[in-house]
Amino acid sequence: MFTRQITLFRLFGIDVRIDLSWLAIAVLISWSLATGYFPFVLPELSALTYWAMGVAGLIGLSVSIVAHEFSHSLVARHYAMRIRHITLFVFGGVAELEGEPTSPTAELAVAIAGPLMSAAVAVAFAVLSGFFSALAVGEPAVAVADYLAAINLVLAAFNLVPAFPLDGGRVLRALLWRAKGDYLGATRRAAAIGEMFGFLLMMLALFNLFTGNLLGAIWFFLIGMFIRAAAVANLEQALDRDVLAKQPASHFMRRPVVVVPSDLPVDALIDEYLFRYYFKSFPVADDGRLRGVVDIRDVQAVPAIERAGMTVADVMRAPDENDTIEADTPGIQALQQMRRAGRARVFVIESGQLVGVVALRDMLNFLEFHMRLDRRNR
C-alpha cells in the first residue's frame, strides 16, 4: 500500500508517519481550498489570505485524521493488540495493527472509536467557530473552523458506511461475528459489501465523467478502486490467518538444523557456512542447546584484519524472545513474530533443545500453494 515513509513524531509510544503519497494530496487539498472552496464561501479576499486559509485547513484536516487513527490505536492497545504505527497516505490515514481483534467486542470497540472521535472533533471545531465569532477574530478563522467541523462530520459519516474495510464495515463484521460466532464468515460478508460499495463509487465516477466533473470522477474512481482492493486484500489476509492458525510451527519446520559451534573460528564461519549455505543468520548451539545467533552483519561489523583469532562466541548475540518458538506454537503467531522482528527465520525449541527452524519463505510458499489449490473452494 505504501511507498516511502517519514516518521514525523512519536506520541503515546506510537510513531506517526507520512507516506510520500500524502504530499500529492496535501498540495491538491490546499489548492482546492485556496482556489475553490474558500473563495466561494468568502468572496473578495486576497489570494494570500485564501492560501493561508487553505494551508490552515490542510493542517487541521491532518490533525483530525491523526486523532481519528489514534482513537483506533489506543482502544486497540486497551485490548492488548499491538500497534505498529499510524501513517498518513494518499487516501487519508491508517493505524496499522498487528493481527486481528480476538473478540467481537474488541473489534466493535476499535472500529467505532474512529467515527466517534471524528464526531467529537467536529463538535470541538464548531465550538471553536462560535468562540471565534464571539471574539470577532475574523471571518477567515471562522470559515476554516466551520470547514473543519463539516469535514470531520463527513469523515465520521463516510467511515460509518457498512463496507469493509471502512470502520462501518468492521462494525458490521463485529456484529455478524457476535451473532454467528464465525469470524471468517463475517469477514467474507463484510468484504463482499466493501467490494460492492467500491464498485458503486467507480460507477459514480463514470457518471461524474459524463456530466463534466472530471476531478470528482477521478476521486470517486480512485477511492472506489482502493476500497475494492482493500476489501479483497483484507479477506485474503483473514483466509491466510485462518489457514496458519490451524497449523503448528512444527508443520513448517525444517530439520536437521545447520548449527554453528560457539568455538568455531570466524574465518571458518565465513568459508564453511556463509559461503556454503548462503543463510544470513545461523543458530549457535553447543550440545543441542541454543547459545546465540550469529548474523552476517555481526561478521561485517568486525574489520577483516581483526577476525584472526576470533571465534563465533566473540561475535554472536544472545538469543531474544523473537528468535525462538515452541513446536506447537500456531503458525500465525510464528509469522507475526518474524514480521514484528524483521527476521526471516525462527528457531524451534523443545525441552530446551534446538530441534528445527521455520523460515518465512517456507510459510509464504505454503500460503501461495494453498491459495492456488484450495482458495477458490473456500
* Four-residue CA torsion sign, 318, 359, 342, 74: negative
pLDDT tens digit at each of 378 positions of the chain: 445 778 888 888 888 888 887 888 888 889 989 988 899 999 988 999 999 999 999 999 999 999 999 999 899 888 888 777 888 876 667 777 766 777 899 999 999 999 999 999 999 999 999 999 888 878 889 999 999 999 999 999 999 999 888 899 999 999 999 998 888 888 889 999 999 999 999 999 988 888 887 777 888 888 888 888 888 888 888 888 888 888 888 888 888 888 999 999 988 898 899 898 888 888 998 888 888 899 888 888 888 888 888 899 999 988 888 888 888 888 888 888 888 777 888 898 888 788 888 888 888 888 888 777 765 444
H/E run at residue 93: strand 92-98
Q: CB burial class (10 A; 0-12, 13-18, 19+) of residue 224?
A: buried
- Whole-number CA gyration radius for the chain: 26
Whether 159 and 197 have beta carbons less than 8 Å apart is answered as: no
What gap in Å lies between CA 378 and CA 356, rounded to an integer? 31
Question: What is the pLDDT, as a whole number, of residue 378?
Answer: 47
Contact 199, 226 (CB under 8 A): no
Q: How far apart are CA 135 and CA 132, in angstroms?
A: 5
CA dist., res. 57 & res. 246, Å (int):
49
Distance CA 325, CA 349 (A): 6
- Comma-separated ranges of CATH 3.10.580.10 domains in the chain: 249-377
Question: Which pLDDT value is given to residue 1?
Answer: 47
CATH superfamily, with its number, for domain 249-377? CBS-domain (3.10.580.10)
